[in-house]
Structure 1
Amino acid sequence: MEITSTTLSNMFAQIAEAMAREKDRLCELDGVIGDADHGIAMELGFSAAAKAVQALDLASAEPTLVFNTAAKSFLNAVGASSGPLYATAFMRAGATVKGKPVLDDGDFAQAFIAMARGIQERGKAEIGEKTMIDAWLPAADACEAALSTGRTLSECLAAALTAAEVGAEATKAMLASKGRASRLGDRVLGHMDPGAASAVVVIAAMQKALA
């Protein structure tokens, strides 16, 4: 499919809408192992990103500018831990598609993979540490595997979403080794990581917008 800056703007709008719907659930999850504000932060960040992107001249703006604008506005809206992580993700996506006025399936899939790698490098997290990486990294790997077998973007993102859901579910059985949750020991067992849960929301909205 042909992905323009307008397509990306619609995608950010859909993510923002999904975060508004899921805000309370994410705050509830965060209340168990954090300070109960993850849903608020994610809604603020994606709402700011969607508005800033919408304000661009989308007819002339290249996808790189859309991603960079989303990165800057997300970071300005969310100073907390998820701010720099998602800002890095969108900056990496922008760098991956630099100079391309329109993206094809493979371009966006590569941008998606770059997002996950950017989050991992910025957060210095590994699989099994009960963070958003437990959803994002399997999603990127699944997307990459689907892409390598010639799947469409919709199929790549569907595979990514399934992997993210499995990864997020797996965080219930993990102890946390990063952030505030790491001080709670066994009390975090049985609870899904809010960052992994919100990653699933992001990926599901992307898949829906680009299907």
Structure 2
Amino acid sequence: MLMLDKQFFLDSLRDMAQLAEEQRNHWTKLDSEIGDGDHGINLSIGFRAVTKQLDALDIESTDIAGLYKKVGMTLLSKVGGASGPLYGSFFMKAGTNIAGLHEINFRQFCEMIQEGVDAIVFRGKAQIGDKTMLDAFLPGLEVLFQSDLENEPVAAFEAFVARMKQGSDETIPLICKKGRAMRLGERAIGHRDPGSESAWMFMNVYLEQLKKRF
């Protein structure tokens, strides 16, 4: 089975930080339509802090779980709004079952994402149809774990990201049932959930790193 070393995760995190800078205005514009207008700003601030943590980290002695815990704690402490607690929880919990490992197989990587999303579900108490990032994550994970993880890992992850992107599209006609956007009622119809957009784009970073390697 395909193996992923620590460098894969470091490169992915740095690319996520770059993505947060590139998409800052786009994500903020989406959020200004139905929320506080701070989604892109907050994620940009958070991942700048993550980059500083990565630069200062003793990479050799830090396992993948420790790396992700550090990222999660940084996002929790530096990012306001809903995105900080949700993405912070995602990264903190993603490494729960791989403590001590500096390399993992592809299935373990997929299970990391599942653990992270479970933490988002627990933290946000949302479900499919609530117009949140879970409208992207949950259908995507269903597709991912129905795929051939052993023999076609890159294709499996492509299908995962594609379904997440579709899930983000599917938030456009929905009414918000979580967060401050709930107060908009039907006025939220016609607007994309910003968290669903950033979620699939962050997962696409992993996909691009997989394609570079395999």
Q: Could you state the TM-score of these two structures normalised by the residue count of structure 2?
A: 0.92
Aligned runs of 1:14-53 on 2, under 5 Å? Answer: 14-53=15-54
Q: Is the 8 A contact 1:9 1:54 kept in 2?
A: no
Q: Is the 8 A contact 1:176 1:188 kept in 2?
A: yes
Q: Is the 8 A contact 1:113 1:144 kept in 2?
A: no
SS at match of 1:173: coil
Match of 2:197 in 1: 197
Match of 2:61 in 1: 60
Match of 2:166 in 1: 166
Match of 1:3 in 2: 4
Match of 2:99 in 1: 98
Match of 1:177 in 2: 177
Q: Is the 8 A contact 1:5 1:59 kept in 2?
A: no
Query: What is the one-letter code of the residue matched to 1:118?
Result: A
- Name the count of aligned residue pairs: 210
Separation in structure 2 between the aligned mates of residue 202 and residue 15 of structure 1, nearest angstrom: 6
Separation in structure 1 between the aligned mates of residue 14 and residue 81 of structure 2, nearest angstrom: 22
Post-superposition offset of 1:47: 2.6
Output the aligned Cα RMSD.
1.5
Separation in structure 2 between the aligned mates of residue 56 and residue 151 of structure 1, nearest angstrom: 34
Post-superposition offset of 1:204: 1.0
Separation in structure 2 between the aligned mates of residue 71 and residue 151 of structure 1, nearest angstrom: 31
Separation in structure 2 between the aligned mates of residue 98 and residue 145 of structure 1, nearest angstrom: 26
Q: Could you state the TM-score of these two structures normalised by the residue count of structure 1?
A: 0.93
Q: Is the 8 A contact 2:39 2:81 kept in 1?
A: no
Separation in structure 2 between the aligned mates of residue 2 and residue 105 of structure 1, nearest angstrom: 6
* 1:54/1:112 CA distance change after superposition, 3 Å: farther
Query: What is the one-letter code of the residue matched to 1:57?
Result: D
